[in-house]
């Protein structure tokens, strides 16, 4: 049985992927593919796995993997963005997944033999803007300029995260997909992850779950808190807290990441950019139909198999 890990990352369409997997669970089971989402992993299965001394947690997970193997599954897809880290840990460090190497090394105790790892990446200015907008309804105040400067000053990027993934699973096939290309196509992300020639189709209208609040929603939030909505950036639509002089180095960092990936990533990973060559992409974003998994919590409502 092949084990495939989908690490996310946060704010890169993982919740849409989870909703899609739930919608095609029966079809996947018929193909011999099981999946564990946050409802399975965060309801006790991964309890203690991220601790400095995991103790019994790896053994508990290995027993569950063996049970899936005995059921005759050919593939087990495990998808939980918290395997990389949490949004609040990133915010505290002002950095992209600090300590991911140590955390993934503990996950590797539970999954010592992994066939493929899928990582969805996003340009840092968009990733941080989405992360901050996501955290504001969860208690984060409106980000101050000093915090944004600290985020911009930190040099950690996907080029540092990917080698840490490779160190945890030497020899695994690490596939990197850009959010900008795959966010509207969770079906094609499933193809990349599993190698299916044809994935079950998306529902009409597509899926866009767990969207971050826009400027209008954040203005309402500030009013409820007794804050000043005028402190938000002017305009409508997406929240973008970074000033033009801060955007340039963040975008340059992502361009360097993509260049490194296009150049072979030192043999550590491969970049897959085109979700489905030669076909028209569905319109995106679609209207939201379902609330997605809260990536920063330890509870979930995702169906699973395996």
pLDDT at 138: 96
pLDDT of residue 274: 72
3-state secondary structure of 5: strand
Residue 291: predicted pLDDT: 37
Q: Is 21 a domain residue?
A: yes
In a domain, 98, yes or no: yes
Whether 77 maps to a domain, the answer reads: yes
Q: Is the CB of residue 173 less than 8 Å from the CB of residue 181? A: no
Does residue 127 lie within any of the structural domains? no
- Residue 200 is part of a domain; what is its CATH number? 3.40.50
Instruction: Write down the mean pLDDT value for the chain.
Output: 90
Question: What pLDDT, on the 0 to 100 scale, is given for residue 276?
Answer: 62
Low-confidence ranges of the chain (pLDDT < 70): 275-306
Torsion-angle region of 20 (φ positive above 0: left; ψ -120 to 50: alpha; else: beta) = alpha
In a domain, 222, yes or no: no
Q: Looking at the domain assignment, is residue 91 inside a domain?
A: yes
Choose among 275, 101, 87: nearest CA to 177: 275
In a domain, 150, yes or no: no
Question: Is residue 109, in this structure, part of any structural domain at all?
Answer: yes
pLDDT score, position 115? 98
How many domains does the chain contain in total?
1
What is the model's pLDDT at position 208? 77
Domain holding 44, by residue range, is 2-122+156-211+256-271
């Amino acid at each position: 049985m092949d084990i495939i890990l989908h690490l996310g990352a946060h704010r890169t369409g993982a919740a849409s992927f989870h909703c899609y997997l739930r919608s095609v669970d029966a079809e996947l089971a018929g193909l011999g593919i099981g999946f564990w989402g946050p409802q399975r992993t965060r309801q006790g299965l991964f309890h203690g796995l991220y601790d400095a001394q995991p103790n019994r947690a790896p053994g508990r997970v290995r027993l569950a993997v063996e049970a899936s193997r005995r059921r005759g599954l050919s593939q087990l897809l495990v998808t939980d963005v918290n395997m990389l880290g949490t949004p609040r840990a990133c915010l505290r460090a002002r950095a992209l997944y600090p300590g991911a190497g140590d955390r993934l090394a503990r996950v590797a105790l539970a999954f010592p033999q992994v066939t493929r790892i899928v990582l969805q990446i996003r340009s840092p200015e968009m990733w941080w803007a989405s992360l901050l907008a996501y955290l504001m309804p969860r208690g984060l105040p409106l980000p101050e300029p000093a915090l944004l400067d600290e985020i911009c000053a930190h040099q950690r990027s996907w080029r540092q995260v990917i080698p840490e993934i490779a160190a945890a699973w030497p020899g695994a096939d690490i596939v990197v997909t850009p959010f900008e290309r795959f966010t509207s196509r969770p079906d094609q992300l499933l193809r990349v992850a599993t190698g299916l020639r044809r994935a079950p189709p998306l529902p009409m209208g597509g899926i866009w779950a767990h969207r971050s609040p826009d400027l209008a929603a954040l203005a309402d939030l500030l009013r409820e808190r007794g804050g000043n909505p005028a402190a938000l950036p002017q305009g409508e639509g997406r929240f973008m807290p970074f000033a033009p002089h801060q955007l340039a180095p963040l975008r340059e960092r992502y361009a360097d990441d993509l260049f490194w990936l296009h150049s072979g990533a030192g043999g550590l990973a491969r970049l897959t950019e085109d979700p489905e060559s030669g076909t028209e992409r569905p319109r995106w974003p679609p209207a939201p139909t379902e609330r997605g998994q809260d990536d920063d919590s330890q509870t979930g409502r995702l169906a699973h198999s395996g």
